[in-house]
Structure 1
Amino acid sequence: MTPEANEPKSRYLQYLEIVTGPLEDKRRYRQYKARIKQLPENYRTAADALERYLMLLGPADGAGAMAMYEDLAELFEQSVADGTPVRDIFGADPVEFVEAFVANYPVGQWRAKERNRFTSAIDRAAGEDPARREGTV
């Protein structure tokens, strides 16, 4: 039902993507989930927990999120191949690991917008010019 790369999308697919988001991202997500499903149980449990955390608190959306999840699958697949224990992947503080992991990916549009809105509100409340912080004045 998806068109080839050079083929224009039908009007139906265009409307469907407006409602559901890009179909390519959905295909990539299904491939990611299939990769995670192939991991040994303890790695799969850790990957599922990390995915849940990223879904709730991750900085990316859309294609940015998919790049992050694909890299996550690759990290776990390589760790399995190398025999790296789960604890060695995450270290003593899993939150510190995930913060370092997500720092490599662009901030999602909605999250960046809300961070900027929040920061600007605090600047205004403190009697400061939000534009000064950004170096635009």
Structure 2
Amino acid sequence: MSGVQKSGFISKLIGPKKRWKTYKARVRELPENYGTAVGAIERCLMHYVPISEDSNASMFEDLADLFEQAAADGTPIREIVGEHPVEFVGAFAENYSEGGYVPARARKQLTDDITRAAGEDSEKEDKTA
């Protein structure tokens, strides 16, 4: 009986790990700017979403699906995440959990990374004066 318990434990560890590796391989195949955007969103989601094996794996797989399709269609990154990427992350995460709080530093990093990935320069933000 301990063999059955042990194999169940191992499959819990290996299953999600394999899904994560597959997800990361998919992200590496994206065009560079889309991969940069996914990485920024991923980092923010790590702050935002409570850890749960199945919902997290599904969430990241769906994120990869979204950006793979956008890249294939030539959809600009800003059309995916909008002008407020933190709000995008919050709305995206709500589909998988009740969410959490994104620290200010992570929000700023996400915004900066998406701006770079979208090919926008930081001077664009200063034109409001």
Instruction: Specify if TM > 0.5.
Output: yes
Residue 87 in structure 1 maps to residue 78 in structure 2: yes
Measured against aligned partners, the alpha-carbon deviations of 1:6-42 in whole angstroms (never above 9, x if no partner) come to xxx656545556xxx5311111111000000000000
Residue 65 in structure 1 maps to residue 56 in structure 2: yes
Question: What's 1:100 paired with?
Answer: 91
TM-score (norm 1): 0.63
CA–CA distance in 1 between the matches of 2:63 and 2:28?
Answer: 13
- Of Structure 1 and Structure 2, the greater helix share is in 2
Question: What's 2:27 paired with?
Answer: 36
Q: Is the 8 A contact 2:49 2:97 kept in 1?
A: no
In structure 1, which of residues 69, 74, 93 is the aligned counterpart of residue 65 of structure 2?
Answer: 74
Q: CA deviation at 1:65?
A: 0.1
Aligned length: 99
5+ residue gaps, structure 1, are 1-8, 112-137
Change in CA separation of 1:12 and 1:77 when aligned onto 2, cut-off 3 Å: same
CA–CA distance in 1 between the matches of 2:76 and 2:13?
Answer: 36
Question: What's 1:126 paired with?
Answer: none
**Percent of aligned pairs sharing the same letter:** 47
CA–CA distance in 1 between the matches of 2:81 and 2:89?
Answer: 8
Instruction: Work out which of the two has the higher radius of gyration on C-alpha atoms and give 1 or 2.
Output: 1
TM-score (norm 2): 0.67
RCO greater where, 1 or 2, for CA within 8 Å and sep 6 or more? 2
Change in CA separation of 1:63 and 1:15 when aligned onto 2, cut-off 3 Å: closer
Residue 56 in structure 1 maps to residue 47 in structure 2: yes
